[in-house]
Structure 1
Amino acid sequence: MFKSSFIVMIINMLSRILGLVREMIIGSVFGATGMTDAYFSATKIPNFFTTLFGEGSLGTVFIPIYNRGIEEQGKERTDEFVFSVLNLIVAFTSTMSILMILFSRQILKITTKFTDSERFETANILLKIVAFYFLFIALSGVVSSLLNNYKKFAVAASMGIVFNLTIIIGTLFLKNKMGIYGLGVAYLLSGVFQLTMMLPQFFQIVRTYKFTFNLKDEYVVEMFKLMIPTLIGIFGYQINEIIDNRYATMLPKGTVSALNYASRLYLLPIGVFAISLSVVIFPTLSKAVIKNNMKTVRRVVHQGLYMLAFLIVPSSVVLFGYAQEIVALIYKRGHFTTKSVVITSETLQFYAIGLLFFSTIHLLTRSHYVFKDRTLPVISSFTAIGINIILDELLYKQYLHVGLTFATSFAAMVNFLILYTSLAKRYVKLRTFKYLVILIVTFAISGFSFYISKMVKLNLLGKFDIAINLMAFAVIYLLIWLILISIFRKDLIKKMLKRFLNRG
């Protein structure tokens, strides 16, 4: 599991770095303006459905049923199930995409509150352009989960790289001819390319393809029964984004863009660490539960929690403490002004507060799914939605963008607490005290590392000096952990080195 997680993390890190380059280029070319507000608001709609049906979300239902089908009836029979699912997705997503095009104005009136017609009309055209992205990315979600199940992690993880490269190239080559609409075209093409890149590996698994579907297939029926609560659970996080975006459109121009630019930064550690870990862990948990191997389930969940604490806590401290420097380094050029830096960095700080909760929710939700519990994540998700809406309404007028991001982080904390308590009491006997000790120690080490790294002031590279501070932080953080482990857990170092060398 360690080796697979490491490979996926490296690929996801490359993808997220490219994602930052993508945002840097968009920010430099278009800034944080009314046009980018329109673009980000328009792409929120297909993104909403993308997270529901793509990015491995369907896989949380699809993979356990697929694995059981292989065990019960063999691969040939289970391939029929795969064909049915994919063909039904084509029918459904095509219909939804057409409806998005036909009713784009009505959809935007619900999801935004633009006070000027220019932003609204721009968003309307962009939504029509990007609507069919939903079709390609939903198919990619199922195909990538199948590849992950066969340990073809690298191909599926590389899709983020394809997405980012397409947007980058599209922005640079289409900006003069099409302006902001060139971004929409590139966005749509990225979905086509992501699916196309996975097809060779997909056909190594299924060998052939049939354009038929059987609505009475027992596995299809079971999948769609389980899908409803699963999608409702995932719906919670997405609806929070839509709600925040709606309130942001009522604030000064550039606020929607600031939220998006800040979210790219806090999503970097989530994508590299949390999602990578969840993708690798989920098939292992699924198979362990099928075999009723609770010892493995408990071990894997604990490993996931501890690894996330080790990786995410320092990330949140860095993003909070160095928010303004990081935003200035990445975005401040071209049309991205000092005012944009201030708004984006303040937004980032409050996202950073909730980073541990955002990250761990992925693992806790999937841990419930392997026990076929779709109800609790739904309850937890809707509780978080309710809290987010109430806090948004109470805070947005007085605290603007900071109020919106605080509400999101607070709602994520509530979601985390509900999911963790449920998992610990009902399914896996978690070592809560040990987990709390690890969190406290990790926060203490991270805080100390930040304090020392902040003292490094060379003034050699201007705004790039932050890179030296970040390297100093990483070195101090890792060094302290190595010293502690060498004192208290010498056996752990030997075990990890032996495992790594044997697998390498």
Structure 2
Amino acid sequence: MTKTGLVKAASIVAFLTIVSKVLGFIRETSLAAVFGATSDTDAYLLAQTIPYLLFATVSYALTTTFIPVYSHVREERGKEAGFRFANTVLWAVLLVAVVFVMAGEVLAEPLVRLVAPGLDGSVAELTEYLSRILFPMMIFQLLSGVVTGILQAEGEFAVPTAAGLAQNIAIITSILAFGPRYGIASVAVGTMVGAGLAFAVKLPALARTGFRWRAVFNIHDPGLRRMVILMLPAILSAGASQVNTLVDRILASGLPEGRVAALNYANRLMELAPGIIGASITTVIYPTLAKLAAQKNWDRFNDALVRSLSFVHFLLVPVATGVLVLREPLVRIVYERGAFDAAATRETAWALLFFSLGIAMFTMRNLISRAFFTLQDTKTPLILGAVTVAINVVLNLLLVCPLEQGGLALATVIATTLGFVLGLVAFRRKKLGRLSWTPLFVSITKTLASSV
């Protein structure tokens, strides 16, 4: 893909992401207005933690390992071989997803105790009930992750991004139309239905690529074997990242009522800019990096990586400065209505103060991690992830008492920054072509200086 093509694709993805984020904020503000920062909201968010923990872990590993292997198969054996490989992966993922759902339904009670040991009896029971409603959505989400990988590898970026619109609309409808009458359980049902709609939206675009879902499951496919080998450390790496969220919510569940919700609402606000700008760049550049890696064109690979990191930092640091300065009015404008009162605004703004410091770094660390995946190296991100998690857990324990949910946010930012720096060092040691981080450091220095 040419530079113009990359910019065009990233712009389309950014526009659709903006629409999706707007709907996401309508979803969050609707949830805040109808249910506020209450035990019901805490139960819903904690119930999401269990299936999302598994989904985010496996889906991230699927997408990041599928695209490089799929690109390699296409380069060496042609498009039809790539489609046969994709069919095998889809059937394997369906089998794994069904097993996960069945296990989740059976083990919901101990899983809730694991992720939220600080909950009292009634809230714990509600969390368990909601988690059983949410578990089936994993089937749609995991299949959707593979379909997204196929579409992105084939140069289709708009539809996977637009699919999130359907999911948000379903959740918003469940909150506003059914929430006041049927309670928080209706929101869980809407969340599951939304996951199914998001998967269905991608199927017509998948058919346009020439792909046909057939009863093909070749367990001896060399691509599948390679992907499984890569996925094992990738799952552990993604799981290590999710441990941060898990530890945050475990510790937050022991804080006064509403702190889990405040941390979540602040995190949603913090994710807005990285989700629009950072994710757009990462989504478009990742298949390009995978293709360049398959071709072993290291000079172009390194240039694309450095430019992408510099561009992300250039765009996101000024945004972070604005969020830092305007955090409380921003929370008030977005959330303060209905059951979300001034006290909830203060608690959410407190967490956002610290989250804002890492707005650029979250995307940059994700991008450097994905660079390793394009090289079919999943061990290095695993090691880096484990080190980052260890740092985060220690900082969480040190900071949660004096700073409450703000301490959890600050710990995440510090650990993420250190993880990014370690990633740069590890990538430099790969010695792939000509690589210099100097342009990146110059860009970072200039951007920080202009934002002060």
Q: TM-score range with shorter-chain normalisation?
A: over 0.9
Residue 196 of structure 2 is matched in structure 1 by: 192
Residue 290 of structure 1 is matched in structure 2 by: 294
How far apart in 2 are the matches of 1:238 and 1:118? 26
| Superposed displacement of residue 364, structure 1 | 0.2
C-alpha deviations, 1:319-369, integer Å up to 9, x for none? 111110100000000000111101100101111112222110111011111
Residue 67 of structure 2 is matched in structure 1 by: 63
Residue 150 of structure 1 is matched in structure 2 by: 154
C-alpha deviations, 1:387-425, integer Å up to 9, x for none? 111122222223211111111111111111111111233
> Does the aligned pair in 2 maintain the 1:57–1:141 contact within 8 Å?
no
Tell whether 2:352 aligns with 1:330: no
* 1:44-443 map, 5 Å: 44-54=49-59, 57-427=61-431, 429-443=434-448
Residue 21 of structure 1 is matched in structure 2 by: 26
Q: Which AA in structure 2 matches 1:298?
A: N
| Superposed displacement of residue 63, structure 1 | 1.5
Tell whether 2:450 aligns with 1:445: yes
> Does the aligned pair in 2 maintain the 1:32–1:257 contact within 8 Å?
yes
How far apart in 2 are the matches of 1:254 and 1:416? 31
Moved more, 416-425 or 178-187: 416-425
How far apart in 1 are the matches of 2:212 and 2:310? 42
| Superposed displacement of residue 43, structure 1 | 0.4
Moved more, 45-54 or 366-375: 45-54
| Superposed displacement of residue 76, structure 1 | 2.6
> Does the aligned pair in 2 maintain the 1:53–1:141 contact within 8 Å?
no
> Does the aligned pair in 1 maintain the 2:93–2:143 contact within 8 Å?
yes
SS at match of 1:251: coil
How far apart in 2 are the matches of 1:79 and 1:184? 35
How far apart in 1 are the matches of 2:61 and 2:382? 14
TM-score by length of 2: 0.96
How far apart in 1 are the matches of 2:439 and 2:203? 44
> Does the aligned pair in 1 maintain the 2:372–2:427 contact within 8 Å?
yes
CA distance 1:120–1:367, shift in 2 (3 Å): same
How far apart in 2 are the matches of 1:114 and 1:206? 51
C-alpha deviations, 1:264-315, integer Å up to 9, x for none? 1111111111121111101111111121212211221122011101111012
How far apart in 2 are the matches of 1:394 and 1:306? 33
Q: Which AA in structure 2 matches 1:340?
A: A
Give the RMSD, CA atoms, in angstroms: 1.4
Segments of 5+ residues of structure 1 without an aligned counterpart are 448-504
How far apart in 2 are the matches of 1:27 and 1:230? 35
Q: Which AA in structure 1 matches 2:200?
A: T
> Does the aligned pair in 2 maintain the 1:319–1:352 contact within 8 Å?
yes
SS at match of 1:58: helix
> Does the aligned pair in 1 maintain the 2:86–2:150 contact within 8 Å?
no
How far apart in 2 are the matches of 1:123 and 1:108? 7
Highest Rg: 1 or 2?
1
Aligned length: 446
Q: Match for 1:4 among 5, 9, 18?
A: 9
How far apart in 1 are the matches of 2:330 and 2:81? 52
How far apart in 1 are the matches of 2:374 and 2:91? 25
| Superposed displacement of residue 149, structure 1 | 1.3
Residue 40 of structure 1 is matched in structure 2 by: 45
Moved more, 77-86 or 15-24: 77-86
How far apart in 1 are the matches of 2:26 and 2:318? 23
> Does the aligned pair in 2 maintain the 1:275–1:362 contact within 8 Å?
no
How far apart in 2 are the matches of 1:264 and 1:68? 36
Moved more, 375-384 or 426-435: 426-435
CA distance 1:346–1:170, shift in 2 (3 Å): same
How far apart in 2 are the matches of 1:50 and 1:267? 19
Residue 458 of structure 1 is matched in structure 2 by: none
SS at match of 1:354: helix
Q: Which AA in structure 2 matches 1:216?
A: H
How far apart in 2 are the matches of 1:430 and 1:171? 50
How far apart in 2 are the matches of 1:17 and 1:57? 27
Percent of matched pairs sharing the same residue: 28
Q: Which AA in structure 2 matches 1:160?
A: G
> Does the aligned pair in 1 maintain the 2:75–2:294 contact within 8 Å?
no
SS at match of 2:209: helix
Residue 478 of structure 1 is matched in structure 2 by: none
How far apart in 1 are the matches of 2:128 and 2:447? 46
Moved more, 253-262 or 386-395: 386-395
Q: Which AA in structure 2 matches 1:384?
A: T
> Does the aligned pair in 2 maintain the 1:52–1:231 contact within 8 Å?
yes
How far apart in 1 are the matches of 2:196 and 2:61? 19
SS at match of 1:158: helix
How far apart in 1 are the matches of 2:415 and 2:255? 21
How far apart in 2 are the matches of 1:57 and 1:316? 28
| Superposed displacement of residue 427, structure 1 | 4.0
> Does the aligned pair in 1 maintain the 2:68–2:373 contact within 8 Å?
no
How far apart in 2 are the matches of 1:311 and 1:50? 30
How far apart in 1 are the matches of 2:400 and 2:211? 54
TM-score by length of 1: 0.86
Segments of 5+ residues of structure 2 without an aligned counterpart are 1-5
> Does the aligned pair in 2 maintain the 1:5–1:276 contact within 8 Å?
yes
SS at match of 2:376: coil
Q: Which AA in structure 2 matches 1:39?
A: Y
| Superposed displacement of residue 431, structure 1 | 3.6
